[in-house]
Each structure stands twice: as structure tokens, then as C-alpha cells.
Structure 1
Amino acid sequence: MAIQTPANNPSLTAAEVAKLLVEPLEQQSTFLSAGPQIIDSSGPVRVPRIASGASANFVAAGAQITDSNVTFDEVQLLPSTLKGIKSLTKLSNELIRESAHTVGALEQVVQTRLVTDVSNVLDAALWDGTGTSDTIKGILRQTGIQTGVLDLADPDSLIDGLAAAQGNHVSPTHWVMTPAAFAAIRKVKVGTGDRRYVIEPNTIANGVGFQLFGLPVIVTDYIGNVGTAPGKARVALVDFSKVVVARDQNPSVTVLDQTFGDYDTVGIRVTARFDVAVLQAKAVTLLTEA
């Protein structure tokens, strides 16, 4: 009696392999996981702040105290004109039925994929969105942020960035940089004849994530380079306690099973609407290569 083996029956195992729908390689969302303050609102948001405080002086007993005023302004988010991020994909019912034996519930797979795609667009906008045409203006584009010069061959430039932030009375919570910039900083050697690393490799990782000069490092493509290729690298220092995100709608899925009924087709729509602002502009220090 012949024993049936996988080698003799490859078609019996192929279906199991086919169920592993391969996703593209991409970075994970980083901005919201960094811990900004989140305000849920379906309408415009106004965050009041003190623009300048009162003055205080030494006054002798019985002398008149000079009065002074506290001035206020506000940060505005989610204006009514701000656009949302949206995506729509249509699948024929034949495709949904015929794919069931290979990738399982195709609708669920596509829903998850669309949410990821929308989240990626949102992440890029929160970091470095231009704010043009009623879109999100990212924190690296905000008016009044601190700037400085970056030298990836000299870690002292990062310390200078820290000093600039501390001079503005800011306590940064995170470094933000691209994988290439982080690698360049890590590869700096003591000297031409000394191949030791300036930054000890074992002190960079804390067992959970990367750290540099005592602060967590967010590695993301969305901080990008500026200028023409290869462009000028950028590194940011951010105090996320002073970053606020207004959230009108998380990435939300709607299945449209009737809209395209005359095509025997199902539509899957994903929408999201967010905005971001920096409560104190100097909470962001952006270093750029000379």
C-alpha cells in the first residue's frame, strides 16, 4: 500500500500557503504612539494660552504696587474647512466569493489594509504635512519652532540642539530622525586610527526601543530630507507634552453593500479626520544639515 505524502500531493498544501496574504514592507505609525495630548471633537477646537504673564517687582512697605496685565491668545485646530483623509475600494461579489478558499474573508483583509493606508497618510501629515489646500500642517512646519544646524559626523551638534531646547525652557521627550540619519550618528568613530564608536552601541538600546543621550529615538521616514537629492538630513527634538492632536474621527470603515448594487459590487470606505498643533512653538527643535 502506497503512503501518501506532501511530496506526492503538493496541491493539498498549496491552499494553506495561499492563505498567507503577504503585506508590503512598511514602517509602523509613530506619531500618535509618541504620546501627544488628544482632544476628541467634531467641531473646531480652541485651546487658550497665556501669551505673556504679569510682571512682579520688589515693592517697599506702604508703596504703590504697579499693576500689569496678563495677555492671552489661542491655538486653533480642526477648522471647518479642514479636509479629511478618505479611501474607497470596490470589490465584486464574485471576487469575494471565489477568494474565500485562499485568503479567507477578503472583505476583512481589505478593510484592515485600507485602515493601514489611511493611517500612513495621517502619520506623514502629522509629522511634516505642508498645510496647503486645507490639509494638516505638521509639527515640523509650524511657525516659530527652534532651528539649528545638524552635523551627522559630529554628535556635538545634537548636544547643541539639546542646549537650544533647554535654553527655551523645554524638556524634550523624543528624538526624531530617519533610519539613515540614526545610522550615520551611530557610526561616528573616535578618530582615524581609533575605530571605537563615539556613542557606545550597548547604551543605545534600552531593551524596548532606541535611546540617544538619554532620550527615546523615533525612527521614521516621515521626517525626510529637504532640498534636492540626496537632500539635507534633519533631526528633531520634540516635547510631546506640548503637542496636541484634535481627533474628529479615527480611521473608520463603512461597507457599502447597496451603493454599487447594479454592478453586484461592494464598496469599502475608510475615513479619518485629525489636526495637530504645538502649544508652544519652541517645543520643537529642528536641526538641518548645513
Structure 2
Amino acid sequence: MAIETVAGNGTLIQSEVASLLVQPLEQASTFLAAGPKILDSSSPIRVPRIASGVSAGFVAEGSQISDGDVGFDEVTLMPSTMKGLKVLVRLTNELIRTSVVGLEAVLRTRLVTDVANALDAALWDGAGTSNTIKGIFRQSGIATGTLDLTDPDSLVDGLATAQGNKVNPTHWVMTSSSFAALRKLKVGADDARYLFDPNTIQNGTELRLLGLPVIITDNVPAASTKARVGLVDFSKVVVARDVDAEVKILDQTWGDYDSIGIRVVSRWDTALLQAKAVTLLTEA
């Protein structure tokens, strides 16, 4: 007598979809977490600043004090033509009702994440073309320097460049491969000890280099095959926020299709209060 087995009766086996939706592996949004100044406005913003001060001098008793002339200019953000980040997904009510996961809530969260990722890339390295965000690495007048991932002195020189511009950097910004190249540096050809103490370069989940926190992101501007590392003073970075992440459920627009839409809108801009707040090091 033949015994019917599972292997021979696959069509009879009940299938079950786990009520778990696996998200893709992706980097976290890093720009806003670094602590720039955020100004809420839907209108253009003008931030006045002193471009040049006056020179004080020693004046003898009873002598005339010479006149000084202070120069002013401004930083502008959020022009009326600035475009927003927007995304829209349509799905049927049948799909929502029959889905094993809470599809509407999952998609809502996913779309906000996708907009946040696009925003993060734009704030770091947006091209600024066609009324879009111009990232801080593309701003005019930023400081530059030479990077050598085999010689940490190039990082010290980058710090010296920033400090020479009267800037106190708050963060390093680099890709994971650049950080790995630096942390693998050895004391010498015959000495396998790491140049950077593993206990100080990584403390839990926090990464540090030469005393400063390290932000790992793929959004450092590419220079052909040459690596780049940024040094940023986030106290001099300002962000204008019109809409954070507005989520709308459009349940009437496609009512004749028995479908709904999920729309996410976000609108931001960024600028440097002082151009030298960013130092960008590039491999020779």
C-alpha cells in the first residue's frame, strides 16, 4: 500500500504568507540628525550677515577717530520657485482588504522613508539645478584640500585648513570605504598595530576620528574614482523647512476605480551661513 507524502502532494499543502514585510537594506538619513539650524517658513528667507567688520586702531588723546565702514550681505533660502519632493502611489481597496499586512500603514511609512532618503541626498550633494536643493558640498566658496587615505596627516591638514578659516568643525563626513581605509592603517610595515586605537575610533555605534564624530554616508560627492572626505561645522549650516513630510490619503479622487492614493509631500532648502564652514578634501 502506497503512503501519500508531503513531497508528492505539493498542491495540497496550505501556504501562508507571514505578516511581516521585509524592508530593503539602506543607509539612514544623516544630514538632519547632525544638528543644523532649522527655520520653518513657506516663504523666501533672508538671513542677514556681516560680510566685513571695521579695523580698530590706537588713537592718541584728543585725536580724531577714523570712520569705519561695516559691510552687509545676506544668505537666501526657499525661493518661491523651489520645488518640493513628492511621491504618489495608487492601490485598490481590494488589495488593502485582502493583504496579510496592514498595507496602507506600511506603504505610508515606506513612502515617508523614501522621501527622507531623497531629501538626505539632496541636502548633502544636490546639484541645485532646475529649482532644486543645492547641497552643502556644492555651495560656492567652500574650502578645499588634498586627501590621502594612506596618510592621516592629510586629515590633520584638513583640520588646519578649517581652523585657519576660523571654523570649529563638528563632524567628518565620508563613505564607509574611506572610513575603512583609514581605520586599517598600521603603525608600520613591521608593526601590525592599528594606527587609530580601535577603542577610540568606535565606541558602541558612535564613530570618531581625531576627536570628531564621523558621519557615514554615500552622499559624499564623487570625483571620478577619487575618494572625498568632508569636514563640516553644522553650527553654520541652516535648513529651511516648509513641509516636513505631509501624508495625504486620497480616498475620493479615484473613487470610480474603487482605489485610493497615498501622497507624501516635503519641501526644504539649505545654505551655509559661512561658506568656509565646509572643507572638502579630494584625493590627488
Considering the TM-score relative to the shorter chain, is it more than 0.5?
A: yes
SS of the aligned residue for 2:109 comes to: helix
Residues 60-103 of structure 1: CA distance to partner in whole angstroms, max 9, x if unpaired? 0000000111110000000001100000000111111110xx21
Match of 2:251 among 240, 257, 262: 257
Query: Is the contact made by 1:178 and 1:224 (CA closer than 8 Å) also made in structure 2?
Result: no
SS of the aligned residue for 1:143 comes to: coil
Aligned residue type for 2:123: L
The residue number in structure 2 matching 1:268 is 262
The answer to whether 1:234 aligns with 2:228 is: yes
Query: Is the contact made by 1:78 and 1:275 (CA closer than 8 Å) also made in structure 2?
Result: yes
Query: Is the contact made by 2:137 and 2:221 (CA closer than 8 Å) also made in structure 1?
Result: no
The residue number in structure 2 matching 1:55 is 55
Query: Is the contact made by 1:174 and 1:217 (CA closer than 8 Å) also made in structure 2?
Result: yes
Query: Whole-Å Cα distance in 2 between the matches of residues 11 and 242 of structure 1?
Result: 60
Query: Whole-Å Cα distance in 2 between the matches of residues 226 and 83 of structure 1?
Result: 27
Deviation of 1:203 (Å): 1.0
> How do residues 70-81 of structure 1 correspond to structure 2 at under 5 angstroms?
70-81=70-81
Query: Whole-Å Cα distance in 2 between the matches of residues 11 and 108 of structure 1?
Result: 27
Residues 218-274 of structure 1: CA distance to partner in whole angstroms, max 9, x if unpaired? 0011114222xxx11110000000000000000110000000111111000000000
Query: What is the number of residues matched between the two proteins?
Result: 273
Query: Whole-Å Cα distance in 2 between the matches of residues 71 and 160 of structure 1?
Result: 31
Q: Which runs of 4+ in 1 moved over 2 A?
A: none
Aligned residue type for 1:269: R
Aligned residue type for 1:30: T
SS of the aligned residue for 2:202 comes to: coil
Query: Is the contact made by 1:249 and 1:271 (CA closer than 8 Å) also made in structure 2?
Result: yes
Deviation of 1:200 (Å): 1.3
Aligned residue type for 1:75: V
Query: Whole-Å Cα distance in 2 between the matches of residues 289 and 260 of structure 1?
Result: 53
Residues 128-187 of structure 1: CA distance to partner in whole angstroms, max 9, x if unpaired? 001011100000000000000000111110000001000011000000000000000111
The residue number in structure 2 matching 1:118 is 115
TM-score (norm 1): 0.92
SS of the aligned residue for 1:60 comes to: coil
Query: Whole-Å Cα distance in 1 between the matches of residues 203 and 73 of structure 2?
Result: 40
Query: Whole-Å Cα distance in 2 between the matches of residues 49 and 73 of structure 1?
Result: 6
The residue number in structure 2 matching 1:157 is 154
Aligned residue type for 2:214: V
TM-score (norm 2): 0.94
Deviation of 1:188 (Å): 1.0
Deviation of 1:190 (Å): 1.6
Query: Whole-Å Cα distance in 2 between the matches of residues 208 and 45 of structure 1?
Result: 36
Query: Is the contact made by 1:186 and 1:197 (CA closer than 8 Å) also made in structure 2?
Result: yes
Deviation of 1:208 (Å): 4.4
Query: Is the contact made by 1:150 and 1:234 (CA closer than 8 Å) also made in structure 2?
Result: yes
Match of 2:145 among 126, 143, 148: 148
The answer to whether 1:218 aligns with 2:212 is: no
The answer to whether 1:31 aligns with 2:31 is: yes
The residue number in structure 2 matching 1:92 is 92
Deviation of 1:206 (Å): 2.8
Query: Whole-Å Cα distance in 2 between the matches of residues 190 and 80 of structure 1?
Result: 54
Aligned residue type for 1:40: D
Query: Whole-Å Cα distance in 2 between the matches of residues 239 and 220 of structure 1?
Result: 17
Structure 1, unaligned stretches of length 5 or more?
1-9
The residue number in structure 1 matching 2:193 is 196
The answer to whether 1:167 aligns with 2:167 is: no
Aligned residue type for 2:275: A
The RMSD of aligned alpha carbons is 1.4
